[in-house]
Amino acid sequence: MTITEEKVLEFHRGGKVALKMPRPVRTVEDLCLAYTPGVGKAVLHLDRHPEEAFDYTAKGRTVAVVSDGTAILGLGDRGPTAAIPVMEGKCVLFKSFAGVEAWPVVLDNCRVGGAKTGKTDPQRVIDATLAIAPMYGGINLEDIAAPACFEVEDRLQELLDIPVFHDDQWGTAVIVLAAVRNYAEVSGKPFGSLRVAMNGAGAAGMRIREMLVAAGVAQVISCDSKGVIYKGRPDLSGRKLLAAEDTPCRTLEEVLRGADVFIGVSVAGAVKGEWVRTMAPNPAIFALANPDPEIRPEEVAAAMGDAPYVMATGRSDFPNQINNVLCFPFLFRGALDVRARKITMGMKLAAADALAAAARIPADEATAALYAGEDLAFGPRYILPKPFDRRLRALVAPAVAKAAVAEGVARVADFDEAAYRAALEAETADSTSSAR
């Protein structure tokens, strides 16, 4: 597949999102119901019953995709205008994969001092997002640079009673946890005994570590550009201080010795083949730097020879892609459908477990046809489902919704998991048929 700039720009011409009206205005009565004078009655009703905005507006099914453009994909700080194609793309994925309405919201004037360049001012992003929040049932933060992204997410979730989710942090973490669970399954190693070596301590790296620890992984030792994050290292603060481990290791090479799992969210070429050979038998190497991984699959293959191992990257042209589209559309769908006030750790863990379970189910014919030539049977080269597996909506969203109800953050109390799952299955079948 060749992706040229010309082909990309033609695809993006005119933008990738537009307003679709569920109730078209075709008659005089329609006009009176949609706008004046009828709309005034809706205004007065919501003034008396603001909680019913979930019923009588698009709020309950719409997510704002918010960014200041300071950390766009792997391209760095390119500003809000350059961020628009990515935010539109996220909205397309929300709708295409989970039936969730989403709209891009790119923020200017959110730098320290209000400058056009420089670091993110967390308070400016928080204030801007609070200002637009009443229209939305959820906030998906995107491509906001660390460390500001941590404060922005935490503070917004404190101040808002709708889900706030920074996909760069948690989306990757949920999918990595699902992959690690299935690695433990295919390798025959107890999940709780796994030793994990991480390289990268930014937004994704810190949250991956938190997810693995919350799920019960025995040990996670993290490294940043200065080496191992160990207890007593004098330059640590914030989340890095919380991530510090009591270890004699000081380099990534040392941490990899005897490790079961390597997870990289750092830079290309950070790992050498000879280091991989020192890992525990049948290791997992998750080299997720994009577009070029910490170590390429062919280098791992050469290093391991005939020995068993599991390899994952962030790229679609290799098996076991860690792709955030496996998480955020379905996570938000489940949260929105029970009108959750927040996305809890329990909901994230439920999403990871559902994704892991989905990979253990043989792929259907439609999915297999899209990935012709790939073996989609559960095993070392297939530890995660494919994004186009249309069953994911009815597998992941109900798990998230059930967890939200169990943790007391859902507004919907009479949740029927079986009925909800059946409704999503029917919805998915309808959308698949209409797409043919």
> pLDDT (tens digit, 9 = 90+) per residue, 346-358?
999 999 999 999 9
- Looking at per-residue pLDDT, the higher value among 203 and 297 belongs to 297
Q: Which residues of 174-202 are buried (b: 16+ CB within 10 A; e: fewer)?
A: bbbbbbbbbbbbbbebebeebbbbbbbbb
Residue ranges of the chain that CATH labels 3.40.50.10380: 15-162
Look at residue 319 and tell me whether its pLDDT is greater than 90.
Answer: no
* The token pair that represents 364 in the structure block: 């259907």
pLDDT of amino acid 146: 86
Give yes or no: 35 in active site.
Answer: yes
183 catalytically annotated: no
Residue 178: predicted pLDDT: 98
Which member of 7, 35, 226, 231 is catalytic? 35
Domain with CATH 3.40.50.720 in the chain: 170-313, 324-435
Q: Which residue has the higher pLDDT, 423 or 116?
A: 423
Angstrom CA distances, 204 to 115, 294, 296, 316, 404, stand at: 26, 15, 20, 19, 23
For the beta sheet containing 62-67, the strands, ordered from the edge strand earlier in sequence to the opposite edge, are 101-106, 62-67, 138-141, 164-166
Of 90, 189, 348, 386, the active-site residue reads: 90
Give the type of residue at 285: I
Q: At how many degrees (to 10) do helices 328-337 and 79-98 cross?
A: 70
**Does the domain spanning 324-435 belong to CATH 3.30.1360.70?**
no
pLDDT at 431 over 90: no
Q: What local confidence, expressed as pLDDT, does residue 436 receive?
A: 43
pLDDT at 435: 46
- Average confidence score pLDDT of the chain: 94
What would the CATH number be for the domain defined by 170-313? 3.40.50.720
Supply the pLDDT for residue 73. 84
pLDDT at position 432 is 60
Q: Which residue has the tokens 């660390």?
A: 146
pLDDT at 373: 81
Cα(76)–Cα(366) distance, rounded to whole angstroms? 36
Question: 248-253, long-range: CB within 8 Å, 24+ apart, which pairs?
Answer: 249/221, 251/223, 251/227, 252/197, 252/199, 252/223, 252/227, 252/228
What angle, 0 to 180 degrees and rounded to 10, lies between the N-to-C axes of helices 345-359 and 203-215?
80
For 239-285, the pLDDT digits (tens) are 899 999 999 999 999 999 999 999 999 999 999 999 999 999 999 99
Q: How many residues does the chain have?
A: 436
Is the confidence at residue 47, as pLDDT, over 80?
yes
Give me the pLDDT at residue 433, please. Answer: 52
Q: How confident is the model at residue 81 (pLDDT cuts 50, 70, 90)?
A: very high
Q: What fold characterizes domain 15-162?
A: Rossmann fold (3.40.50)
Phi-psi region of 242 (alpha: psi -120 to 50; beta: other; left: phi over 0): alpha
